Amino acid sequence: MTAGRDYDSVAVGTVLGPLTVPVTRTDLVRYAGAAGDFNPLHFSDRSAQQAGFPSALAHGMLTMALAARLVTGWSGDPAALCDVAVRFTRPVPVPDDGVGARLDIRGTVTAKLDGRRVRVALDVRCDDVKVLGSAQAVVQLT
Amino acid sequence: MAADRPAAGHIHPPTEIYEVSRAKIREFAEAVGADSPAHSDPAAARDLGHADVIAPATFPFLVVHRASSRVLSGPEWGLADASLVHTAQRIVPTRPVRAGDRLAVTLHVESVRRLAGRDVVRMRGEVHTDGGEHVVDTFMTFTAGGPDEKETGR
């Protein structure tokens, strides 16, 4: 069995998403445990405020994982990512208020590459502010 | 930062082995909302051509982070965890990480420089099996220190 989106069905300009993901403090604690990253900046308001932030911040790698999820979900193949790169340019504060933060994740196909691969530019925003810079992925299609 | 810190080209030797379990992959996939059955069901993974359940693409950072945290906060680098900021990440898999993998990380120092009063360290975490098979490269950028930290010679 093969999985995956057909390369020939995709054009430069094809849009992925949007994927909207709520992120609560519980999600940060769950990610901390799953990833083994116990930097208190990501669960303690006290630590975050000492560092000058309003509340605990989402792990950059959680944000990156959610962006990757948009791409693999779109492609239909959980192993489709050949290359994924981001810069963590803005923090994502996650207040402990029962609501948390909301990430809006979009992608756009920017190039069709050899080997039935495409390049995707990723746009991840929290409160309409981009939180990742130079975010892109190379995706294997079928 | 320590006075005789490693420079570009330095290689930190392979870490102890990290053995990847089905349970850890499933836990990680749930934490990032990756809902493909290939992350939790071995039969579904096999249907896609994988020997066992596969991890989401960013999972390898878990293994690399264990190595890089130890090295950067250790005596060679002397960077306190609290001063480190992870500013960029790139992941380039050769194949997905899968359950049963016995992984080690070799950290390559790619560059060390000063920018706006902070140290900027770029590393490549090369993840390979204990049998020597290359699995994934992870490229990380960290910054550390601050303008108020007295520097040593750079």
Would you call A78 and B61 a contact, using CB atoms and an 8 Å cutoff? no
| Model confidence at B1: pLDDT above 90 | no
Contacts of B87 in chain A (CB under 8 A): 87-88
Q: What is the pLDDT of residues B41-72, one digit of tens each?
A: 999 999 999 999 999 999 999 999 999 998 99
pLDDT band of residue B117 (cuts 50, 70, 90) is confident
Q: Give strand pairing partners of A87.
A: A133, B88
| Model confidence at A3: pLDDT above 90 | no
Kindly identify which residue of chain B lies nearest to residue A26, measuring between CA atoms: B31
Contacts of B95 in chain A (CB under 8 A): 79
* Best CATH choice for the domain B11-20+58-144 from the list 3.10.129.10, 3.40.50.1820, 1.10.760.10, 3.90.550.10: 3.10.129.10
Which pLDDT score, from 0 to 100, does residue A134 have? Answer: 97
Of B146, B151, B143, B77, residue with least CA distance to B107: B77
| Model confidence at B152: pLDDT above 50 | no
Highest mean pLDDT among A48-52, A105-109, B78-82: A105-109
A60 near B CB under 8 A: yes
For testing contact with chain A, the best of B86, B89, B97 (most A CBs within 10 A): B89
A102 near B CB under 8 A: no
Q: Which domains are present in chain A?
A: 7-23+59-140 (3.10.129.10)
CA-based nearest distance B48→chain A, Å: 6
Give the DSSP per-residue string, B56-113.
Answer: -TTTHHHHHHHHHHHHHHSTTT---GGG-EEEEEEEEESS--BTT-EEEEEEEEEEEE
pLDDT band of residue A86 (cuts 50, 70, 90) is very high
Which pLDDT score, from 0 to 100, does residue B146 have? Answer: 64
Residues 6+ apart with CB under 8 A from B11: B106, B107, B108, B109
| Model confidence at A112: pLDDT above 50 | yes
pLDDT band of residue A94 (cuts 50, 70, 90) is very high
Q: Which tokens hold the place of B15?
A: 């870490």
Which pLDDT score, from 0 to 100, does residue B116 have? Answer: 86
Domain ranges for chain B: 11-20+58-144
Would you call A72 and B34 a contact, using CB atoms and an 8 Å cutoff? yes
Three-state DSSP state, A12: coil
Percent over 90 (pLDDT), chain A: 96
| Model confidence at B122: pLDDT above 60 | yes
Q: What is the pLDDT of residues A19-46, one digit of tens each?
A: 999 999 999 999 999 999 999 999 999 9
Q: Is the ipTM of this complex over 0.90?
A: yes
- What whole-number distance in Å separates Cα of residue A38 and Cα of residue A19? 27
| Model confidence at A55: pLDDT above 60 | yes
Which pLDDT score, from 0 to 100, does residue B83 have? Answer: 78
pLDDT band of residue B82 (cuts 50, 70, 90) is confident
Contact by Cβ (8 Å): B121, B2: no
- What whole-number distance in Å separates Cα of residue A71 and Cα of residue A4? 11
For testing contact with chain B, the best of A64, A71, A117 (most B CBs within 10 A): A64
Contact by Cβ (8 Å): A38, B65: no
Which pLDDT score, from 0 to 100, does residue B39 have? Answer: 98
- What whole-number distance in Å separates Cα of residue A48 and Cα of residue A71? 31
CA-based nearest distance B34→chain A, Å: 6
